[in-house]
Amino acid sequence: MTVARIPLSLLDLAPVAQGQEVAAAFAHMGQLAQLADALGYHRYWLAEHHNMPGVASAATSVLIGHLAGLTRRIRVGAGGIMLPNHSPLQVAEQFGTLASLYPGRIDLGLGRAPGTDHATVRALRRYQDQADGFPHDVQELLHYLEPVQPGQSVQAVPGGGIGDGLPVWLLGSSTFGARLAAQLGLPYAFASHFAPDQLEAALALYRSQFRPSARLASPYVVVAMNVVAADTTAQARYLFSSLQQLFVNLQRGAAGKVPAPVDDIDQVWLPHERAGVERALAISAVGDCGQVASAMAAVVQQLQPDELMITANIHDPDARLRSFELAMQAWRSLS
């Protein structure tokens, strides 16, 4: 496989940095989407999270519409919509609307987790046991996107009959989603940028059990990884410390905005916290352009994905833009 012949895509959470307001985070998100569009990234996905001060992508479908309007070529979508938080009909209507407004540019990725804590799940008026009905909800949603049948009592308007005009993906961080995606014949994206433990097992299961469908003839896998690139290795490691601190704070139950980077991360974490963070962020590339290129190539050669999706939580918006610019430069150097 020639590495750079597969698409390179971008995952965003509309991160809110310490000292920054949400409006500024959205302005930066728009700049990043336009840069990604110009640089040749294949798709720009946003992920649904709730009750997280450092993540502003809660109203995911609203932001997708906003970014699609700001860009010209790049695919824009959800990576993903956490289906237990929503009714399948509402999701079909929202994304049917988006796909009608921006034909050929909208993706719908579906996840099983609530994307939040238990108290917020209750506030969303959906409950944790809804996750047990996820396979049924996925199939119900797919039904709403198929051609409307005579006498069909409930239709997605818009959405009904949109079919291939709205690609539907399953997302996961375990073998559960891989098995379901294989059974339904849907493309599969693995959240290896924060939960890589079952990555290889999930990909093997998906590929071995895949059943062709009207939507997809053969398995299609996206692997996600963190990429923090800078002009020097030292600068990249400094920038990466913001993400490391975020994961330390999550272990401590103190989720907040994206923290400023630190010179010495060892002054922040305890040994057991370091082990947990390094395990969660194992699929990462941090360094200058050459180092990032080598790390990305190693992931692709090991896992053989059909597409690579990168993400970066960086405190400084300008450094974040520069990181994605260097990442694409590194990617193209591999062709």
Residue 177 contacts by C-beta under 8 Å, 6 or more apart in sequence? 111, 112, 170, 171, 188, 202
Q: How far apart are CA 83 and CA 69, in angstroms?
A: 25
Q: With CA atoms as reference, report the closest residue to 42 among 256, 328, 330, 335.
A: 328
Give 48: exposed, middle or buried? Use CB within 10 Å, 0-12, 13-18, 19+.
Answer: buried
Beta-bridged to residue 115, according to DSSP, are none
Provide the pLDDT for residue 113: 78
Distance in angstroms (rounded) separating the CA atoms of residues 309 and 225: 6
- The first and second tokens of residue 311, run together, are 């993400």
Instruction: pLDDT band for 132, please (50, 70, 90 cuts).
Output: confident
Q: What is the pLDDT of residues 281-295, one digit of tens each?
A: 999 999 999 999 999
- Of 267, 254, 191, 249, the C-alpha closest to 225 is 191
Rounded to an integer, what distance in angstroms lies between the CA atom of residue 248 and that of residue 253? 9
Question: How high is the pLDDT of residue 255?
Answer: 85
CA-angle at 312, arms to 205 and 1, nearest 5°:
45
Provide the CA 271 distance to its chain's centre, in angstroms: 29
Continuous segment of H or E residues that includes residue 221? strand 221-229
pLDDT at 61 over 80: yes
Task: Judge whether 331 and 297 are in contact, CB under 8 Å.
Answer: no
Amino acid code (one letter) for 14: A
Average pLDDT, stretch 177-206?
Answer: 97
Measured CA to CA, the distance from residue 265 to residue 268 in angstroms comes to 5
What does the pLDDT average to over 213-225?
Answer: 97
For residue 79, say if its preceding peptide bond is cis, omega within 30 degrees of 0.
no
Q: pLDDT (tens digit, 9 = 90+) per residue, 87-121?
A: 999 999 999 999 999 999 999 999 997 656 677 77
What is the pTM assigned to this prediction?
0.94
pLDDT range class, residue 22, cuts 50, 70, 90? very high
Tens digit of each residue's pLDDT (9 = 90 or more) over 157-177: 999 999 889 999 999 999 999
CA distances from residue 119 to 52, 87, 112, 124, 256 in whole angstroms, order as listed: 12, 19, 17, 9, 17
Structure-block tokens of residue 298 = 């190693």
pLDDT at 1: 47
Task: Give dist(CA 67, CA 3) in Å, integer.
Answer: 28
In this prediction, residue 335 carries a pLDDT of: 81
Q: Which domains does the chain have, with CATH numbers?
A: 8-333 (3.20.20.30)
